[in-house]
Structure 1
Amino acid sequence: MEVQSLLDNIQELSDLELGVLLSLIAQGHCLMTTEDDLVDDLANELSLIASERFGLSYVVLEPEDLCSVDRFGEAILEETGTQFSAENDPQPGSFRARLANLDIRAAPKLSQRLSRENGRFDDRMVKNVIIAKGFNFADEYVQVQTIEIINNKRFFSRTTVHIAPKTFLFIPIVTASSKDTHLTPHLNDRLFISHYHHPDHGFANLEELDYSAVSDDSSGRSRQRSSWESTQKSRLISKDVIDKVRAMGEAAAITPEVRRYLQDIITFLRMERGVDGGVTPRATSQFVALAKHLAPLHGVDFVTPSLVMLAARKVYAHRIMIAEPARERSMQYGSDPAAVAELLQDLTPQLVIEEVLNTVQCPI
């Protein structure tokens, strides 16, 4: 698919496809939330999007894969690669100490040399897309290793350093019933956007695949499947197209008025009642980046106030932390604790964002 073809047909993308596309364009990562009984379908839909829409390798992690770093590491690595095992395994402590501060450019060659010295050579890479069910319950060290992959594109196993590809996307899935169990703050702040998938929105690729399922005794079905595969190939969005759309987004202009509007939203979010954090410097940079990358997808080369509003909803929904009554700002000025508790009882990040967007004056 060419760039113009993608932009002309952007309305045909589902919300999930658009979320993955934006994450790949901005080189960020996306938090997905859905109802408890739809987690498996959502993971399968995302795996189809990764493989059929973008031609990327992927892995779907079950909750049991997130209980330890070793199990997590084995799950996220490509099956390709060559391993040579010696009779004696190396001591992981001393090996890790020699690798801990390696520059990312030097890590592959040095880690392979050290691996050979210890009797093992493993050149597997991290897969392009990691889809992790229930990642908010993952072991703390698994979450720390995920931050390492996101920041430095490398994963430390017991024997070597595995490099993540340049095109890398991490998609944790959180159930609606467990959304109050948060990811570690540092990892949460590194997630670019978040998206709630409503049950009514369905799963376009899964439904299309089910309709085109092959039956052993039906040649007509086989032809239908072949037609579906051909259609999918014509819809494939290549890395070259993504790179070109990224360049278009980075070149999008922001007028002084829209820039001020952007900054006012950030300021009001920080000062809004009930907010206890989450409006971080990283969030600010990603807020601006998303607003710019949305521009070419909407057929313009500049950022509009409506794009800023959309970006705010996607960037801050998973970041904003609602304060406990005792930490609410107005308590410093003598507010009634019962009244504050009542105010915060049903307050959500989404409500905070909408209140701010309705308060800040939008440039004409």
Structure 2
Amino acid sequence: AEYIKSPSATLPSSVPSCRSLSSSEDDPNGHSSLSEGELSRNLQESVKHRILYLSEQLKVEKASRDENTVSYLKLVSKADRHQAPHIRQAFEKVNQRTSATIAQIERRLRQCHQQLQELEEDCRSKGSVLKVESSLDNCEQPSAKATVSKSPKLGGEDALSSNLPDVTRPFTLESHFSDLQQENFSETKHMSQKRKLQLQKVKEELTEVNKFHIDLQVYYQDLKERYLMDLQMSLESLQEEKCRQAVIEEQVNDHFQGHLDAIYHLKQNLACTEEKMSYLSYERAKEIWEVMETFKSRISKLETLQRVTQVEMMANLRSRPQEFLFRFVSLLLTLATALLVFVSTLCSCPLPLIHSRLRTFTALMLFLLGALAWQKWHTIATVDWQAWVPSKWRLDSKNSKPPLDRP
């Protein structure tokens, strides 16, 4: 419509209304161009609508694929070794279907973009054709004005001969314009056929898109049912896993409570043992202290007894040399007496002893006994010395011995 209105807007004010002469010829072309423009706009709108629909469908499929991926990761993180392969196989099947659907939608989207570009190029070519037609109309209107202004002056041969070129020129222009109009009409007819073919193609594609949409809805329902089934299985497995986890947590809590009770009993036993050990160590230290006190008292008593004994021994040692001297003198006198008796006996008895064998043997025996007594003199003297020690000294020596009792 803009291309049709643009020539009338550019015409000057001095152009007459002789344009109505060619209105009968331009009317079908204008109507066809108007219908073709509306058709092209409708086609563009339908293609744009289809592009928007496919874009939204692509976004939905990608969002569902991302959601399936997230749910798969969650299920795999919570599943055990036996359930993970089944979940992976189900996810791979769903992911393959979703990827195929996304690839098909992207292919359709590229085709729609190509169709939109072709429609825009056709609109541009149509606009250029309409501009050519408007320029031809502008050229035809001045020629028609020239023929009307020179038609009353036709009166003679000179005028006819002088005006012949002027008259023949519009007819040649009109023939040229008619040829151009025929060419434009053929072009518009060809364009209309091309539009019809494109419209038929678009209708076929729309039917195909509708069919694809129906198939996609069926596939979506199937996919939804499978997804719900897989979701139900996943929820059941998740519920079983939760129950198993609850049982395991309960067992762990029981074991942990048992360990805590054992630790509490061990701490109590350790505290009792520490208290008992402290009590026993205190009692042992007390007994050791008492024994040490007893030993200290006994040591002090022994020290005092030793001092008293030393004093008494010093006193006895002062009085003992005199007694020893008297006893030694008495011993010497006794020995001298015995020696004299022995000498006298030897002097008086050798001859009788020699007269018989018995006396000789007796004398030898007595001599041997004397020698033996002389060898054992120091032991006999010690025994006699102990016999000569007074009873008081014996009592002091007994008291000086340490006690044999134990604590």
TM-score tier by shorter-chain length is under 0.3
Larger Rg computed on CA atoms: 2
Greater RCO between the two (CA within 8 Å, min separation 6)? Answer: 1
Higher helix share: 2
More strand by share: 1
TM-score normalised per structure 1 = 0.15
> TM-score if structure 2 supplies the norm length?
0.13
